[in-house]
Chains A and B, each alone.
Chain A
Amino acid sequence: QKEVEQNSGPLSVPEGAIASLNCTYSDRGSQSFFWYRQYSGKSPELIMSIYSNGDKEDGRFTAQLNKASQYVSLLIRDSQPSDSATYLCAVTDSGAGSYQLTFGKGTKLSVIP
């Protein structure tokens, strides 16, 4: 059974600090990895996608992927209170023609002013 694991948190960081969110996955054949942000009572919003080993930066967000370790992370620099949300890691199934995402349970981030 394909699994995506995340620390549920809550992860608390002071405003301006770097928040580090981690995710591991079980399907070694997975090719695509996503981070979604979900505010309470709202639907998820895609914030980052990454497909190759290494780092991918977009503004204050950096996604890191290590396929050998089956590990993907999200760094949020200069954290703001508005970043407080649950962050969902999602991984595409490796089955041929399959575009289903398996989601982790999410990590709740709280940025303290």
Chain B
Amino acid sequence: GAVVSQHPSRVICKSGTSVKIECRSLDFQATTMFWYRQFPKKSLMLMATSNEGSKATYEQGVEKDKFLINHASLTLSTLTVTSAHPEDSSFYICSARDGRGKRANEKLFFGSGTQLSVL
């Protein structure tokens, strides 16, 4: 399957700092990437859809000024958690669609995730 690289895998930061998470599609171009967050023992919650060359689309209840998304190229999307607070501590996962193959444009492949801990 397609490879999506995400880093860092773990971040521990002080309250009030900003954290940037990178998501790269390594062997395909991804015009659309998705950002999820997951709390312990809970399911994935879509935060936003990242579109190359345009503004991200945020889900209801997700603060766009808090979670800045930049999708400047076909292989890279970044999520910046600004002025992080302890309640932002979560597992953040990116995913991208691989457009190759039959109906493959609907398959999502996930990055390895970033565990954010805000002290």
* Residues in A lying within 8 Å of B, measured CB to CB: 32, 34, 36, 41-46, 49, 51, 88, 90, 92, 99-101, 103-106
Q: Which listed residue (B1, B105, B111) contacts A43, Cβ 8 A?
A: B111
Most buried by B among A88, A100, A104: A100
Q: How far is the CB of A51 from chain B (nearest CB, A)?
A: 6
A-B contact pairs, 6 of them (CB 8 A): A42-B113, A43-B6, A43-B110, A43-B113, A44-B110, A49-B107
Report yes or no: B108 in contact with A103, Cβ–Cβ below 8 A.
Answer: no
Q: Which listed residue (B1, B44, B111) contacts A46, Cβ 8 A?
A: B1
Query: Which residues of B in the span 4-38 have a Cβ within 8 Å of any Cβ on A?
Result: 6, 32, 34
Across-interface contacts of B49 in A (CB, < 8 A): 100
Query: How far is it, in angstroms, between the C-alpha of A103 and the C-alpha of B49 when the chains are bound?
Result: 15
Report yes or no: B44 in contact with A88, Cβ–Cβ below 8 A.
Answer: yes
Known: A43-B112, A43-B113, A46-B109. A100 touches B103 (CB 8 A): no
Most buried by A among B93, B108, B112: B108
Report yes or no: B97 in contact with A99, Cβ–Cβ below 8 A.
Answer: yes
Across-interface contacts of A106 in B (CB, < 8 A): 43
Report yes or no: B103 in contact with A101, Cβ–Cβ below 8 A.
Answer: no
Known: A100-B46, A104-B43. A92 touches B115 (CB 8 A): no
The residue in chain A whose Cβ has the minimal distance to the Cβ of B113 is: A43
Q: How far is the CB of A103 from chain B (nearest CB, A)?
A: 5
Residue B63 at the chain A interface, CB threshold 8 Å: no
Query: How far is it, in angstroms, between the C-alpha of A94 and the C-alpha of B100 when the chains are bound?
Result: 21
Query: Which residues of B in the span 29-71 have a Cβ within 8 Å of any Cβ on A?
Result: 32, 34, 42-44, 46, 49
Across-interface contacts of A49 in B (CB, < 8 A): 103, 106-107
Report yes or no: A88 in contact with B43, Cβ–Cβ below 8 A.
Answer: yes
Q: Which listed residue (B34, B97, B110) contacts A45, Cβ 8 A?
A: B110
Query: How far is it, in angstroms, between the C-alpha of A92 and the C-alpha of B107 when the chains are bound?
Result: 9
Query: Which residues of B in the span 62-119 have a Cβ within 8 Å of any Cβ on A?
Result: 91, 93, 97, 103, 105-113, 115
Report yes or no: A43 in contact with B34, Cβ–Cβ below 8 A.
Answer: no
The residue in chain B whose Cβ has the minimal distance to the Cβ of A31 is: B106
